Structure 1
Amino acid sequence: MLDLNIPATTSTPCIRTDTARGVLHMSGDSYPENAFEFFQPVLDWVQAYLGDSSLPLQLDIGLLYLNTSSIRIMMDIFDSAEEAFVAGRDIRLVWHYQPENERVAELAEEFSEDCSFPFEIMAYTG
């Protein structure tokens, strides 16, 4: 299984995966022209990782802005994680946000309400 290392642009987030450690990291702004096309490798990685092993998965999210299409993709990722968690998989999510960005903190809170796996919302410090 190949890891992803997608550098950030002005409209797309940095995305890195670490299959050996079971980590998916996303940070930056997310308003790609075609979110479904941009995020397809991420969706494929999540599905493959959850299907190919029983190891824990940690989602490390630091998205600063998400457009509607990106929110939809995040919901798809979280739905896959939730399904795996309900089936007994160790899933954990940490969402980092900037304290002055209340909109993203509220969005993360809304996402967390739909997830039963551990979902921590943390303000960046320093």
Structure 2
Amino acid sequence: MNLILEKTLDTPYVNLDNGIIEIKGRSMPENVLIFFEPIFDWIKEYIKDPAEFTKIDLFLAYTNSCSIKHISDMLRLLDSSYKEGHDMKIFWTYEQNDEEAKEAGHELESLLDIPFEYIETETESKSVKRILVKNLLTGKTGEISQRYWEIIVSNGHDKDFELL
């Protein structure tokens, strides 16, 4: 019982296997329902007879709000299995200085009983240009990569930020 979805420009790499749930990359699929459907189907079957320990490895370089909702729903399904006594842990990886990604992990953690471990990693490339921004919705300030800013602009969300 294994499911692998290869990474594309808009979707993350997904590896679902016995004891391993791994999602890494950008998640902004054109049709979120179609992308996440096989993942939900797999998880619904998996939690009927999970491994002794399940490692949930998440590294989401950029995630739109629809994807976050589906990831949250996915984690709630797994959380129900955790509450039944199945051992699990979420490893939430985020890029150094990406406070929004780190905060997204903390927000998800507050909804779940599954324990989280946070892993800070260096940016993909030392030459990645960093931009200081203020999120006008939350008031938080942080650094993001030029690549992340370009995604925000392409999705029309730049009005929610102020460049500092």
Provide the TM-score with structure 2 as the length reference: 0.71
User: Distance in 2 between the 1:33 and 1:70 partners?
Assistant: 10
Which residue does the alignment assign to 2:66?
A: 69
User: Distance in 2 between the 1:70 and 1:112 partners?
Assistant: 16
Aligned-partner residue type, residue 8 of structure 2: T
**Offset at 1:42?**
0.9
Larger gyration radius, structure 1 or structure 2: 2
**Offset at 1:27?**
0.4
Runs of 4+ more than 2 Å apart? 52-56
CA RMSD of aligned residues (A): 1.4
Which residue does the alignment assign to 2:142?
A: none
Structure 1: gaps of 5 or more residues: none
Which residue does the alignment assign to 2:159?
A: none
User: Distance in 2 between the 1:78 and 1:111 partners?
Assistant: 8
Aligned-partner residue type, residue 3 of structure 2: L
Which residue does the alignment assign to 1:113?
A: 110
Contact conserved, 2:50 with 2:86, CA < 8 A, in 1?
A: no
Which residue does the alignment assign to 1:9?
A: 8
User: Distance in 1 between the 2:27 and 2:50 partners?
Assistant: 29
User: Distance in 2 between the 1:93 and 1:38 partners?
Assistant: 21
**Offset at 1:78?**
1.1
Aligned-partner residue type, residue 62 of structure 1: F
Q: Kindly indicate whether residue 94 of structure 2 is the aligned counterpart of residue 94 of structure 1.
A: no
Q: Deviations over 1:44-67 (max 9, x none)?
A: 111111113453221100111111
User: Distance in 1 between the 2:80 and 2:111 partners?
Assistant: 12
User: Distance in 2 between the 1:14 and 1:27 partners?
Assistant: 5
Q: Deviations over 1:49-108 (max 9, x none)?
A: 111345322110011111111011111111111111111111111010001211111101
Residues 46-57 of structure 1 mapped to structure 2, 5 A cutoff: 46-53=43-50, 55-57=52-54
More strand by share: 2
**Offset at 1:18?**
2.1
Provide the TM-score with structure 1 as the length reference: 0.90
Aligned-partner residue type, residue 116 of structure 2: F
Which residue does the alignment assign to 2:22?
A: 25
Structure 2: gaps of 5 or more residues: 124-164
User: Distance in 2 between the 1:83 and 1:49 partners?
Assistant: 12
